[in-house]
Amino acid sequence: MGGSGERKLGAFLESLNDDETIIDLHDRRIPGSRANIDHIVVARSGVYVVDAKNYTGQVRKVDKGGFFTIDNRLYVGRRDCTRLVAGMEKQVEAIKKAFGQPLIEEFELSVTPVLCFVEAEWKWFARPIQLGGVWVEWPRSLRGRVEQEGPLEGEHVRLLARRLVSALPAA
């Protein structure tokens, strides 16, 4: 596993797996690419591709558009991190390809992309941000998302995780 943010989030996600209804796959390689996926979480609530970031500073969504336009950007401190949102698409597509269309249709699966800022600051009473279809959140909010009840049963979670393990090798 890569950086300290990935390791911290990995340890946190492992602590959620008490009965194998939440399975976290760490550091999976995208076939045909040098890229990797930090975490894939398979839970009763669905499948999540999670990119862990160890940035510091306050996380916020800022509209940089003009008077008649909207241009929402993701900032952590003074750093414009919007490019990270677009980078999630490749990871989502790799997971969908690993499952294949018949399995996606059978389980009515969606793959939810998440940018998880492990050490960043959030305002009091902050809520996760959604930008370009990607959820931007912190570990405890991610926990709430994956622990929700969902359409998958325990055996489905294990089946889907095995499918990912065989299709996306460890990096």
Q: Is residue 66 situated within a structural domain?
A: no
Count of structural domains, the chain: 1
- The CA distance from 71 to 80, in Å, is 12
Q: Is residue 30 situated within a structural domain?
A: yes
Asked whether the beta carbons of 163 and 141 are under 8 A apart, the reply is no
Asked whether the beta carbons of 25 and 39 are under 8 A apart, the reply is yes
- The residue segments making up the domain with residue 147 are 4-54+82-167
- The CA distance from 140 to 150, in Å, is 18
pLDDT at 1: 43
Q: What is the pLDDT of residues 59-110, one digit of tens each?
A: 999 999 888 998 999 999 999 999 999 999 999 999 999 998 888 888 888 8
Q: Is residue 59 situated within a structural domain?
A: no
Instruction: Please provide the size of the chain in residues.
Output: 171
- H-run or E-run covering 90: helix 82-99
Q: Is residue 69 situated within a structural domain?
A: no
